Structure 1
Amino acid sequence: MRAVDLHHGSSSETGHVRKVNEDAFLVAPPLFVVADGMGGHAGGDVASGIVIEEFARLSDEGYDSREGAEAVVATLTRCQVRIRDYATAQARAGHRLHAGTTVAVALLVEDERGPKWLLANLGDSRIYRLVDNELDQVSVDHSVVQELMDAGEITLAEAADHPERHVITRALGAALDSLEPDFFLLPLAAAERILLCTDGVTGMIDDATVGRILRQSDDPRDAADGLVQAALMAGGHDNATAVVVDVVGLVTDESFDFVRQRESLETKLGALP
Protein backbone atom coordinates (compact mmCIF):
# COMPACT_ATOMS: atom_id res chain seq x y z
CA MET A 1 0.00 0.00 0.00
CA ARG A 2 1.22 3.48 -0.79
CA ALA A 3 2.23 5.32 2.37
CA VAL A 4 0.01 8.19 3.47
CA ASP A 5 1.28 11.08 5.56
CA LEU A 6 -0.95 11.22 8.64
CA HIS A 7 -0.82 13.65 11.55
CA HIS A 8 -2.74 12.72 14.68
CA GLY A 9 -3.61 13.67 18.23
CA SER A 10 -5.36 11.93 21.12
CA SER A 11 -6.73 12.70 24.56
CA SER A 12 -8.55 10.73 27.26
CA GLU A 13 -9.83 11.74 30.69
CA THR A 14 -11.72 9.94 33.45
CA GLY A 15 -14.12 12.85 33.95
CA HIS A 16 -15.65 14.29 37.11
CA VAL A 17 -17.97 11.43 38.07
CA ARG A 18 -16.41 8.08 37.23
CA LYS A 19 -13.68 6.62 39.43
CA VAL A 20 -12.03 4.59 36.64
CA ASN A 21 -11.36 5.40 33.01
CA GLU A 22 -12.93 2.51 31.10
CA ASP A 23 -12.08 4.14 27.76
CA ALA A 24 -9.02 2.99 25.83
CA PHE A 25 -7.50 3.99 22.51
CA LEU A 26 -4.83 2.98 20.06
CA VAL A 27 -2.77 5.23 17.80
CA ALA A 28 -0.71 3.00 15.50
CA PRO A 29 -0.69 4.64 12.05
CA PRO A 30 -2.30 3.71 9.77
CA LEU A 31 -4.61 2.09 12.36
CA PHE A 32 -6.62 3.99 14.98
CA VAL A 33 -9.08 2.62 17.56
CA VAL A 34 -11.30 3.94 20.34
CA ALA A 35 -13.10 1.64 22.80
CA ASP A 36 -15.58 2.56 25.55
CA GLY A 37 -15.74 -0.17 28.18
CA MET A 38 -18.97 -1.06 29.98
CA GLY A 39 -19.26 -2.83 33.29
CA GLY A 40 -17.19 -0.86 35.75
CA HIS A 41 -13.77 -1.64 37.18
CA ALA A 42 -12.54 -5.16 36.29
CA GLY A 43 -15.28 -5.31 33.64
CA GLY A 44 -15.39 -2.45 31.20
CA ASP A 45 -11.77 -1.44 31.53
CA VAL A 46 -10.67 -5.04 30.92
CA ALA A 47 -12.92 -5.35 27.86
CA SER A 48 -11.70 -2.11 26.28
CA GLY A 49 -8.12 -3.06 27.13
CA ILE A 50 -8.55 -6.38 25.31
CA VAL A 51 -9.71 -4.50 22.22
CA ILE A 52 -6.63 -2.32 22.23
CA GLU A 53 -4.33 -5.31 22.78
CA GLU A 54 -5.82 -7.23 19.87
CA PHE A 55 -5.74 -4.29 17.46
CA ALA A 56 -2.16 -3.55 18.52
CA ARG A 57 -1.42 -7.15 17.58
CA LEU A 58 -3.02 -6.54 14.18
CA SER A 59 -0.85 -3.46 13.75
CA ASP A 60 2.31 -5.35 14.70
CA GLU A 61 1.59 -8.35 12.49
CA GLY A 62 0.24 -6.29 9.59
CA TYR A 63 -2.77 -6.90 7.37
CA ASP A 64 -3.55 -7.23 3.69
CA SER A 65 -4.53 -3.72 2.64
CA ARG A 66 -7.08 -5.17 0.20
CA GLU A 67 -8.78 -7.25 2.90
CA GLY A 68 -9.17 -4.70 5.67
CA ALA A 69 -12.75 -5.61 6.59
CA GLU A 70 -11.78 -9.26 7.01
CA ALA A 71 -8.87 -8.24 9.25
CA VAL A 72 -11.16 -6.10 11.41
CA VAL A 73 -13.76 -8.86 11.78
CA ALA A 74 -11.09 -11.41 12.68
CA THR A 75 -9.69 -9.05 15.30
CA LEU A 76 -13.12 -8.33 16.77
CA THR A 77 -13.79 -12.06 16.91
CA ARG A 78 -10.60 -12.59 18.93
CA CYS A 79 -11.70 -9.78 21.24
CA GLN A 80 -15.11 -11.39 21.69
CA VAL A 81 -13.60 -14.76 22.58
CA ARG A 82 -11.20 -13.21 25.09
CA ILE A 83 -13.91 -11.10 26.74
CA ARG A 84 -16.20 -14.13 27.04
CA ASP A 85 -13.41 -16.28 28.46
CA TYR A 86 -12.53 -13.59 30.97
CA ALA A 87 -16.13 -13.22 32.15
CA THR A 88 -16.49 -17.01 32.44
CA ALA A 89 -13.32 -17.28 34.53
CA GLN A 90 -14.51 -14.47 36.80
CA ALA A 91 -17.89 -16.14 37.24
CA ARG A 92 -16.23 -19.40 38.26
CA ALA A 93 -14.25 -17.46 40.84
CA GLY A 94 -17.50 -16.06 42.24
CA HIS A 95 -17.25 -12.61 40.63
CA ARG A 96 -20.36 -11.70 38.68
CA LEU A 97 -19.61 -8.86 36.33
CA HIS A 98 -20.59 -7.38 33.00
CA ALA A 99 -17.69 -6.96 30.61
CA GLY A 100 -18.42 -5.20 27.34
CA THR A 101 -17.18 -2.41 25.12
CA THR A 102 -18.03 -0.32 22.10
CA VAL A 103 -15.47 -0.02 19.31
CA ALA A 104 -14.67 2.54 16.61
CA VAL A 105 -11.93 1.77 14.10
CA ALA A 106 -10.23 3.66 11.29
CA LEU A 107 -7.57 2.09 9.11
CA LEU A 108 -6.12 2.65 5.67
CA VAL A 109 -6.85 0.11 2.97
CA GLU A 110 -6.25 0.11 -0.77
CA ASP A 111 -7.94 -0.87 -4.00
CA GLU A 112 -7.11 -0.31 -7.65
CA ARG A 113 -7.81 3.41 -7.21
CA GLY A 114 -5.43 3.87 -4.30
CA PRO A 115 -5.60 4.26 -0.48
CA LYS A 116 -8.92 4.78 1.29
CA TRP A 117 -10.26 4.99 4.81
CA LEU A 118 -12.04 1.90 6.08
CA LEU A 119 -14.14 2.83 9.09
CA ALA A 120 -15.99 0.42 11.38
CA ASN A 121 -18.05 0.71 14.54
CA LEU A 122 -19.97 -1.25 17.15
CA GLY A 123 -22.03 0.68 19.71
CA ASP A 124 -22.27 4.42 20.20
CA SER A 125 -18.64 5.46 20.01
CA ARG A 126 -18.71 7.67 16.95
CA ILE A 127 -16.75 8.39 13.80
CA TYR A 128 -16.92 11.84 12.23
CA ARG A 129 -15.24 13.35 9.21
CA LEU A 130 -14.43 16.95 8.44
CA VAL A 131 -14.33 17.86 4.75
CA ASP A 132 -14.46 21.38 3.30
CA ASN A 133 -14.87 22.53 6.92
CA GLU A 134 -18.17 20.68 7.21
CA LEU A 135 -18.71 18.11 9.97
CA ASP A 136 -20.41 14.85 9.05
CA GLN A 137 -21.21 11.93 11.35
CA VAL A 138 -20.19 8.83 9.42
CA SER A 139 -21.13 6.12 11.90
CA VAL A 140 -24.67 5.41 13.08
CA ASP A 141 -25.18 4.74 16.79
CA HIS A 142 -26.21 1.22 17.74
CA SER A 143 -28.55 2.34 20.48
CA VAL A 144 -32.19 2.32 21.54
CA VAL A 145 -32.60 6.06 21.03
CA GLN A 146 -31.13 5.86 17.52
CA GLU A 147 -33.65 3.16 16.63
CA LEU A 148 -36.45 5.31 18.06
CA MET A 149 -35.27 8.31 16.01
CA ASP A 150 -35.01 6.18 12.88
CA ALA A 151 -38.60 5.06 13.46
CA GLY A 152 -39.74 8.66 13.88
CA GLU A 153 -40.91 8.06 17.43
CA ILE A 154 -38.68 10.68 19.07
CA THR A 155 -36.81 13.77 17.93
CA LEU A 156 -33.10 14.54 18.29
CA ALA A 157 -33.92 16.95 21.13
CA GLU A 158 -35.95 14.27 22.93
CA ALA A 159 -33.14 11.75 22.48
CA ALA A 160 -30.77 13.88 24.55
CA ASP A 161 -32.84 13.33 27.70
CA HIS A 162 -34.40 9.96 26.92
CA PRO A 163 -34.24 7.54 29.91
CA GLU A 164 -32.76 4.81 27.66
CA ARG A 165 -30.21 7.02 25.90
CA HIS A 166 -27.33 4.90 27.24
CA VAL A 167 -28.78 1.53 26.21
CA ILE A 168 -26.60 -0.02 23.49
CA THR A 169 -28.00 -2.51 20.98
CA ARG A 170 -24.67 -3.71 19.54
CA ALA A 171 -21.28 -4.05 21.20
CA LEU A 172 -18.59 -6.53 22.14
CA GLY A 173 -19.60 -8.45 25.24
CA ALA A 174 -19.72 -11.77 26.98
CA ALA A 175 -23.49 -12.13 26.47
CA LEU A 176 -23.39 -11.56 22.70
CA ASP A 177 -23.17 -14.41 20.19
CA SER A 178 -22.55 -12.57 16.90
CA LEU A 179 -20.68 -9.58 15.58
CA GLU A 180 -22.32 -7.07 13.27
CA PRO A 181 -20.02 -4.07 12.82
CA ASP A 182 -20.97 -1.40 10.32
CA PHE A 183 -18.35 -0.60 7.68
CA PHE A 184 -17.80 2.58 5.69
CA LEU A 185 -15.31 3.13 2.87
CA LEU A 186 -14.22 6.71 2.15
CA PRO A 187 -11.77 8.19 -0.36
CA LEU A 188 -9.04 10.17 1.39
CA ALA A 189 -10.23 13.39 -0.24
CA ALA A 190 -13.65 12.86 1.34
CA ALA A 191 -12.22 12.81 4.86
CA GLU A 192 -9.52 15.40 5.39
CA ARG A 193 -9.85 14.99 9.15
CA ILE A 194 -11.22 11.93 10.99
CA LEU A 195 -12.51 11.94 14.58
CA LEU A 196 -13.05 8.83 16.68
CA CYS A 197 -14.63 9.51 20.07
CA THR A 198 -16.57 7.94 22.90
CA ASP A 199 -19.98 9.09 24.03
CA GLY A 200 -18.34 10.84 26.96
CA VAL A 201 -17.55 13.53 24.38
CA THR A 202 -20.70 13.54 22.25
CA GLY A 203 -22.96 13.06 25.26
CA MET A 204 -21.68 16.31 26.75
CA ILE A 205 -21.18 18.60 23.73
CA ASP A 206 -23.28 18.89 20.57
CA ASP A 207 -22.14 18.49 16.98
CA ALA A 208 -21.96 22.24 16.48
CA THR A 209 -19.35 22.45 19.26
CA VAL A 210 -17.50 19.42 17.93
CA GLY A 211 -17.31 20.99 14.49
CA ARG A 212 -16.18 24.36 15.83
CA ILE A 213 -13.32 22.81 17.83
CA LEU A 214 -12.20 20.69 14.90
CA ARG A 215 -12.22 23.69 12.56
CA GLN A 216 -10.39 26.08 14.85
CA SER A 217 -7.54 23.71 15.81
CA ASP A 218 -4.97 23.13 13.07
CA ASP A 219 -2.92 20.80 15.26
CA PRO A 220 -4.81 17.49 15.70
CA ARG A 221 -3.37 17.22 19.22
CA ASP A 222 -5.01 20.52 20.15
CA ALA A 223 -8.25 19.39 18.53
CA ALA A 224 -8.38 16.12 20.50
CA ASP A 225 -7.54 17.85 23.76
CA GLY A 226 -10.01 20.65 23.05
CA LEU A 227 -12.85 18.19 22.55
CA VAL A 228 -12.14 16.32 25.78
CA GLN A 229 -11.68 19.51 27.78
CA ALA A 230 -14.97 20.88 26.40
CA ALA A 231 -16.69 17.67 27.55
CA LEU A 232 -15.20 18.09 31.02
CA MET A 233 -16.27 21.73 31.20
CA ALA A 234 -19.80 20.70 30.20
CA GLY A 235 -19.98 18.40 33.22
CA GLY A 236 -17.66 15.48 32.55
CA HIS A 237 -20.28 12.91 33.51
CA ASP A 238 -18.47 10.09 31.72
CA ASN A 239 -15.02 9.08 30.56
CA ALA A 240 -14.14 11.12 27.48
CA THR A 241 -11.76 10.09 24.70
CA ALA A 242 -10.99 11.59 21.29
CA VAL A 243 -8.57 10.62 18.52
CA VAL A 244 -8.14 13.07 15.63
CA VAL A 245 -6.34 12.12 12.41
CA ASP A 246 -5.43 14.42 9.52
CA VAL A 247 -4.61 13.23 6.03
CA VAL A 248 -1.70 15.38 4.88
CA GLY A 249 -1.05 13.63 1.57
CA LEU A 250 0.41 10.68 -0.25
CA VAL A 251 4.09 9.95 0.22
CA THR A 252 6.15 9.54 -2.92
CA ASP A 253 9.40 8.59 -1.16
CA GLU A 254 9.47 4.78 -1.01
CA SER A 255 11.79 4.90 2.01
CA PHE A 256 9.10 6.63 4.09
CA ASP A 257 8.33 5.13 7.49
CA PHE A 258 5.98 6.20 10.26
CA VAL A 259 8.74 6.58 12.87
CA ARG A 260 10.39 9.21 10.73
CA GLN A 261 6.98 10.80 10.09
CA ARG A 262 6.34 11.14 13.82
CA GLU A 263 9.74 12.73 14.38
CA SER A 264 9.07 15.14 11.52
CA LEU A 265 5.68 16.03 12.95
CA GLU A 266 7.13 16.69 16.41
CA THR A 267 9.73 18.97 14.90
CA LYS A 268 7.14 20.88 12.88
CA LEU A 269 4.93 21.37 15.91
CA GLY A 270 7.76 22.46 18.18
CA ALA A 271 8.03 19.36 20.37
CA LEU A 272 11.67 18.93 19.40
CA PRO A 273 14.39 21.59 19.08
Structure 2
Amino acid sequence: MPEAVTSSRVVSTVTGPIELRWAEVTHQGRRRENNQDAVLSSFPLFVVADGMGGHIGGEIASSRTVERLSAAVKRETVSPDVIEEALERAVDDIASHTETTDDGTGTTVTGVYLDLTGEEPTWVTLNIGDSRVYLLRDGALAQVTTDHSVVQELIAAGRLSPEEAENHPYGNVITRAVGPSDGVVPDYVRLEVVDGDRFVVCSDGLTKELTDYGILHFLLQHEDPAAAVDAMLEAALENGGRDNVSIIVVGARLVSADDDTSTVEISSPVSS
Protein backbone atom coordinates (compact mmCIF):
# COMPACT_ATOMS: atom_id res chain seq x y z
CA MET A 1 0.00 0.00 0.00
CA PRO A 2 1.32 3.51 -0.79
CA GLU A 3 1.99 5.78 2.15
CA ALA A 4 -0.23 8.85 2.19
CA VAL A 5 1.14 12.18 3.36
CA THR A 6 -0.76 15.18 4.73
CA SER A 7 0.54 18.55 3.54
CA SER A 8 -0.58 21.92 4.84
CA ARG A 9 -0.25 25.54 3.84
CA VAL A 10 -1.61 28.81 5.15
CA VAL A 11 -2.35 31.32 2.41
CA SER A 12 -3.12 35.03 2.74
CA THR A 13 -6.34 36.25 1.11
CA VAL A 14 -8.20 39.55 1.01
CA THR A 15 -10.66 38.20 3.57
CA GLY A 16 -8.07 36.67 5.87
CA PRO A 17 -5.76 33.64 5.98
CA ILE A 18 -6.95 30.17 4.99
CA GLU A 19 -5.27 26.95 6.04
CA LEU A 20 -5.37 24.17 3.46
CA ARG A 21 -4.59 20.53 4.29
CA TRP A 22 -4.47 17.82 1.66
CA ALA A 23 -3.29 14.32 0.84
CA GLU A 24 -3.34 12.11 -2.23
CA VAL A 25 -2.92 8.48 -3.17
CA THR A 26 -2.96 6.48 -6.40
CA HIS A 27 -2.95 2.70 -6.81
CA GLN A 28 -3.18 0.37 -9.81
CA GLY A 29 -5.89 -1.71 -8.14
CA ARG A 30 -6.12 -5.48 -7.93
CA ARG A 31 -6.90 -6.33 -11.55
CA ARG A 32 -4.94 -3.91 -13.73
CA GLU A 33 -1.39 -4.52 -14.95
CA ASN A 34 -0.40 -0.86 -14.76
CA ASN A 35 -1.67 2.41 -13.37
CA GLN A 36 -3.06 4.76 -16.03
CA ASP A 37 -4.14 7.35 -13.44
CA ALA A 38 -2.05 10.43 -12.68
CA VAL A 39 -2.41 12.90 -9.82
CA LEU A 40 -1.45 16.55 -9.36
CA SER A 41 -1.65 17.76 -5.79
CA SER A 42 0.16 21.08 -5.63
CA PHE A 43 -1.33 24.30 -4.26
CA PRO A 44 -3.50 25.81 -5.61
CA LEU A 45 -4.51 23.03 -8.05
CA PHE A 46 -5.61 19.48 -7.18
CA VAL A 47 -6.33 17.21 -10.16
CA VAL A 48 -6.91 13.55 -11.02
CA ALA A 49 -6.50 12.27 -14.59
CA ASP A 50 -7.72 8.79 -15.59
CA GLY A 51 -6.16 7.62 -18.86
CA MET A 52 -7.63 5.30 -21.46
CA GLY A 53 -6.41 3.62 -24.61
CA GLY A 54 -3.87 0.97 -25.59
CA HIS A 55 -1.39 -0.85 -23.38
CA ILE A 56 0.34 2.33 -22.19
CA GLY A 57 -1.54 4.93 -24.24
CA GLY A 58 -3.77 5.92 -21.33
CA GLU A 59 -0.77 6.25 -19.06
CA ILE A 60 0.87 8.62 -21.54
CA ALA A 61 -2.33 10.68 -21.88
CA SER A 62 -2.86 11.13 -18.14
CA SER A 63 0.79 11.74 -17.27
CA ARG A 64 1.33 14.32 -20.02
CA THR A 65 -1.86 16.14 -19.02
CA VAL A 66 -0.77 16.33 -15.39
CA GLU A 67 2.75 17.39 -16.39
CA ARG A 68 1.41 20.23 -18.55
CA LEU A 69 -0.92 21.41 -15.78
CA SER A 70 1.86 21.18 -13.21
CA ALA A 71 4.19 23.30 -15.36
CA ALA A 72 1.45 25.88 -15.89
CA VAL A 73 0.74 26.14 -12.16
CA LYS A 74 4.41 26.80 -11.41
CA ARG A 75 4.52 29.66 -13.92
CA GLU A 76 1.23 31.47 -13.50
CA THR A 77 -1.88 32.05 -11.43
CA VAL A 78 -4.42 29.33 -12.17
CA SER A 79 -7.32 30.39 -14.38
CA PRO A 80 -9.51 28.76 -17.03
CA ASP A 81 -7.26 30.24 -19.75
CA VAL A 82 -4.14 28.76 -18.17
CA ILE A 83 -5.81 25.37 -17.73
CA GLU A 84 -7.13 25.26 -21.30
CA GLU A 85 -3.77 26.23 -22.79
CA ALA A 86 -2.12 23.44 -20.79
CA LEU A 87 -4.73 20.95 -22.02
CA GLU A 88 -4.15 22.01 -25.63
CA ARG A 89 -0.44 21.32 -25.18
CA ALA A 90 -1.28 17.95 -23.64
CA VAL A 91 -3.41 17.03 -26.68
CA ASP A 92 -0.39 17.75 -28.90
CA ASP A 93 1.82 15.65 -26.62
CA ILE A 94 -0.57 12.71 -26.78
CA ALA A 95 -0.82 12.90 -30.58
CA SER A 96 2.98 12.94 -30.91
CA HIS A 97 3.25 9.43 -29.42
CA THR A 98 2.04 7.72 -32.59
CA GLU A 99 3.67 4.42 -31.71
CA THR A 100 1.60 3.94 -28.54
CA THR A 101 -1.54 6.06 -29.02
CA ASP A 102 -4.45 6.11 -31.45
CA ASP A 103 -7.71 8.03 -32.02
CA GLY A 104 -9.22 6.52 -28.87
CA THR A 105 -6.39 7.48 -26.53
CA GLY A 106 -7.25 10.14 -23.98
CA THR A 107 -7.78 10.98 -20.36
CA THR A 108 -10.26 12.49 -17.98
CA VAL A 109 -9.14 15.55 -16.03
CA THR A 110 -11.03 16.60 -12.94
CA GLY A 111 -10.13 18.76 -10.00
CA VAL A 112 -10.46 21.89 -7.92
CA TYR A 113 -8.35 24.99 -7.33
CA LEU A 114 -8.43 27.94 -4.95
CA ASP A 115 -8.87 31.19 -6.90
CA LEU A 116 -7.41 34.20 -5.10
CA THR A 117 -7.72 36.73 -7.94
CA GLY A 118 -11.19 38.09 -7.15
CA GLU A 119 -12.63 40.29 -4.44
CA GLU A 120 -13.11 37.15 -2.35
CA PRO A 121 -11.39 33.75 -2.53
CA THR A 122 -13.44 31.09 -4.29
CA TRP A 123 -13.17 27.44 -5.18
CA VAL A 124 -13.35 26.48 -8.85
CA THR A 125 -13.94 22.90 -9.92
CA LEU A 126 -13.09 21.68 -13.42
CA ASN A 127 -14.15 18.53 -15.20
CA ILE A 128 -13.73 16.58 -18.43
CA GLY A 129 -14.87 12.94 -18.28
CA ASP A 130 -16.21 10.82 -15.45
CA SER A 131 -13.75 11.37 -12.64
CA ARG A 132 -15.47 13.36 -9.90
CA VAL A 133 -15.27 16.15 -7.34
CA TYR A 134 -17.32 15.86 -4.16
CA LEU A 135 -17.79 18.56 -1.52
CA LEU A 136 -18.43 17.86 2.15
CA ARG A 137 -20.06 20.92 3.74
CA ASP A 138 -22.13 21.12 6.93
CA GLY A 139 -22.07 17.34 7.29
CA ALA A 140 -23.55 16.66 3.84
CA LEU A 141 -21.76 15.29 0.78
CA ALA A 142 -22.61 16.57 -2.71
CA GLN A 143 -21.21 15.64 -6.12
CA VAL A 144 -20.15 18.95 -7.68
CA THR A 145 -19.11 17.72 -11.13
CA THR A 146 -21.38 16.08 -13.70
CA ASP A 147 -20.07 12.97 -15.46
CA HIS A 148 -19.50 13.18 -19.20
CA SER A 149 -20.68 9.64 -19.86
CA VAL A 150 -23.27 7.68 -21.81
CA VAL A 151 -25.04 6.53 -18.66
CA GLN A 152 -25.20 10.08 -17.28
CA GLU A 153 -26.85 11.25 -20.50
CA LEU A 154 -29.37 8.41 -20.19
CA ILE A 155 -30.07 9.37 -16.57
CA ALA A 156 -30.52 13.03 -17.54
CA ALA A 157 -32.96 11.98 -20.28
CA GLY A 158 -34.98 9.92 -17.79
CA ARG A 159 -34.22 6.67 -19.60
CA LEU A 160 -32.12 5.17 -16.82
CA SER A 161 -32.19 5.28 -13.03
CA PRO A 162 -29.00 5.82 -11.00
CA GLU A 163 -29.42 2.27 -9.65
CA GLU A 164 -29.66 0.81 -13.17
CA ALA A 165 -26.63 2.83 -14.23
CA GLU A 166 -24.39 1.05 -11.73
CA ASN A 167 -24.34 -2.15 -13.81
CA HIS A 168 -25.01 -0.74 -17.27
CA PRO A 169 -22.87 -2.32 -20.06
CA TYR A 170 -21.83 1.18 -21.23
CA GLY A 171 -20.83 2.24 -17.75
CA ASN A 172 -17.21 2.89 -18.80
CA VAL A 173 -18.02 4.87 -21.97
CA ILE A 174 -17.29 8.57 -21.59
CA THR A 175 -18.43 11.29 -23.98
CA ARG A 176 -15.67 13.85 -23.43
CA ALA A 177 -11.93 13.42 -22.86
CA VAL A 178 -8.59 15.16 -23.34
CA GLY A 179 -6.89 13.68 -26.41
CA PRO A 180 -9.41 12.28 -28.90
CA SER A 181 -10.38 15.73 -30.20
CA ASP A 182 -9.04 19.28 -30.20
CA GLY A 183 -10.51 22.15 -28.23
CA VAL A 184 -12.03 20.22 -25.34
CA VAL A 185 -13.03 22.72 -22.65
CA PRO A 186 -13.72 21.70 -19.03
CA ASP A 187 -16.96 22.40 -17.22
CA TYR A 188 -16.32 24.87 -14.40
CA VAL A 189 -18.26 25.42 -11.19
CA ARG A 190 -17.40 28.32 -8.86
CA LEU A 191 -18.15 27.99 -5.13
CA GLU A 192 -17.74 30.25 -2.13
CA VAL A 193 -15.16 29.29 0.48
CA VAL A 194 -16.77 28.12 3.72
CA ASP A 195 -14.93 27.22 6.90
CA GLY A 196 -14.55 23.46 7.11
CA ASP A 197 -14.97 22.69 3.39
CA ARG A 198 -13.55 19.31 2.38
CA PHE A 199 -13.24 18.13 -1.22
CA VAL A 200 -12.69 14.65 -2.61
CA VAL A 201 -11.26 14.45 -6.13
CA CYS A 202 -11.25 10.87 -7.42
CA SER A 203 -11.11 8.61 -10.46
CA ASP A 204 -13.97 6.22 -11.13
CA GLY A 205 -11.88 3.43 -9.67
CA LEU A 206 -13.05 4.73 -6.29
CA THR A 207 -16.71 5.32 -7.16
CA LYS A 208 -17.01 1.87 -8.76
CA GLU A 209 -16.21 0.35 -5.37
CA LEU A 210 -17.47 2.90 -2.85
CA THR A 211 -20.86 4.60 -2.68
CA ASP A 212 -21.32 8.28 -1.90
CA TYR A 213 -22.40 7.19 1.58
CA GLY A 214 -19.12 5.27 1.96
CA ILE A 215 -17.10 8.34 0.94
CA LEU A 216 -19.03 10.44 3.46
CA HIS A 217 -18.47 7.82 6.17
CA PHE A 218 -14.69 7.87 5.80
CA LEU A 219 -14.52 11.67 5.65
CA LEU A 220 -16.49 11.96 8.87
CA GLN A 221 -14.44 9.22 10.49
CA HIS A 222 -11.04 10.69 9.57
CA GLU A 223 -10.35 14.41 9.93
CA ASP A 224 -6.76 14.00 8.73
CA PRO A 225 -6.63 13.96 4.89
CA ALA A 226 -4.00 11.20 4.72
CA ALA A 227 -5.99 8.95 7.04
CA ALA A 228 -9.12 9.59 4.95
CA VAL A 229 -7.51 8.71 1.59
CA ASP A 230 -5.87 5.63 3.11
CA ALA A 231 -9.19 4.40 4.49
CA MET A 232 -11.04 4.99 1.21
CA LEU A 233 -8.31 3.25 -0.81
CA GLU A 234 -8.31 0.25 1.52
CA ALA A 235 -12.10 -0.03 1.24
CA ALA A 236 -11.98 0.23 -2.57
CA LEU A 237 -9.40 -2.55 -2.78
CA GLU A 238 -11.32 -4.75 -0.35
CA ASN A 239 -14.46 -4.26 -2.46
CA GLY A 240 -12.71 -5.57 -5.56
CA GLY A 241 -10.25 -2.93 -6.77
CA ARG A 242 -11.34 -3.53 -10.37
CA ASP A 243 -9.72 -0.36 -11.70
CA ASN A 244 -6.93 2.06 -10.90
CA VAL A 245 -7.85 4.15 -7.85
CA SER A 246 -6.80 7.77 -7.28
CA ILE A 247 -8.02 9.99 -4.45
CA ILE A 248 -7.24 13.51 -3.25
CA VAL A 249 -8.77 15.00 -0.10
CA VAL A 250 -8.46 18.77 0.36
CA GLY A 251 -9.73 20.63 3.41
CA ALA A 252 -9.91 24.34 4.26
CA ARG A 253 -10.11 26.18 7.55
CA LEU A 254 -10.49 29.92 8.03
CA VAL A 255 -7.71 31.06 10.35
CA SER A 256 -8.46 33.45 13.20
CA ALA A 257 -6.04 36.03 14.59
CA ASP A 258 -5.45 33.86 17.68
CA ASP A 259 -4.29 30.80 15.72
CA ASP A 260 -0.60 29.93 15.75
CA THR A 261 0.09 29.25 12.06
CA SER A 262 2.75 29.94 9.47
CA THR A 263 2.86 30.17 5.71
CA VAL A 264 5.37 27.32 5.47
CA GLU A 265 4.14 24.13 3.82
CA ILE A 266 4.39 21.18 6.22
CA SER A 267 4.34 17.51 5.28
CA SER A 268 3.95 14.66 7.77
CA PRO A 269 3.72 10.96 6.89
CA VAL A 270 0.77 8.91 8.09
CA SER A 271 1.04 5.15 8.32
CA SER A 272 -1.14 3.21 5.93
Task: Quote the residue 2:176 is aligned against.
Answer: 170
**Which of the two has greater helix per residue?**
1
Where in structure 2 are the equivalents of 1:1-273 lying within 5 Å?
A: 2=13, 4-63=18-77, 68-86=79-97, 89-90=98-99, 98-173=104-179, 175-189=180-194, 192-249=197-254, 257=263, 260-263=264-267, 266=268
User: Percent same amino acid among aligned pairs?
Assistant: 36
In the comparison of the two structures, how many residue pairs are matched?
Answer: 255
Which stretches in structure 1 are left out of the alignment for 5+ residues? none
After superposition, the Cα gap between the structure-2 partners of 1:97 and 1:122, relative to the gap in structure 1 and judged at 3 Å, is closer
Structure 1 residue runs of 4 or more that deviate by more than 3 Å after TM superposition: 95-98, 250-253
* 1:108–1:115 Cα contact (<8 Å) kept: yes
Residues of 1 paired with 2:248 and 2:68: CA distance? Answer: 18
After superposition, the Cα gap between the structure-2 partners of 1:164 and 1:115, relative to the gap in structure 1 and judged at 3 Å, is same
Residues of 2 paired with 1:191 and 1:113: CA distance? Answer: 20
Letter in 2 for 1:201: L
Residues of 2 paired with 1:270 and 1:102: CA distance? Answer: 29
* 2:53–2:102 Cα contact (<8 Å) kept: no
After superposition, the Cα gap between the structure-2 partners of 1:96 and 1:108, relative to the gap in structure 1 and judged at 3 Å, is closer
**Pairwise CA RMSD of aligned residues?**
2.3
After superposition, the Cα gap between the structure-2 partners of 1:190 and 1:136, relative to the gap in structure 1 and judged at 3 Å, is farther
Give the structure-2-normalised TM-score.
0.87
* Deviation (angstroms), 1:104: 0.6
* Deviation (angstroms), 1:83: 1.3
Residues of 1 paired with 2:252 and 2:210: CA distance? Answer: 25
Which deviates more, 48-57 or 108-117?
Answer: 108-117
* Deviation (angstroms), 1:181: 1.1
Question: 1:189 is paired with a residue of what secondary structure?
Answer: coil
* 1:33–1:104 Cα contact (<8 Å) kept: yes
Residues of 2 paired with 1:230 and 1:256: CA distance? Answer: 34
Residues of 2 paired with 1:155 and 1:121: CA distance? Answer: 22
Letter in 2 for 1:108: L
Give the structure-1-normalised TM-score.
0.86
* Deviation (angstroms), 1:72: 1.4
* 1:122–1:171 Cα contact (<8 Å) kept: yes
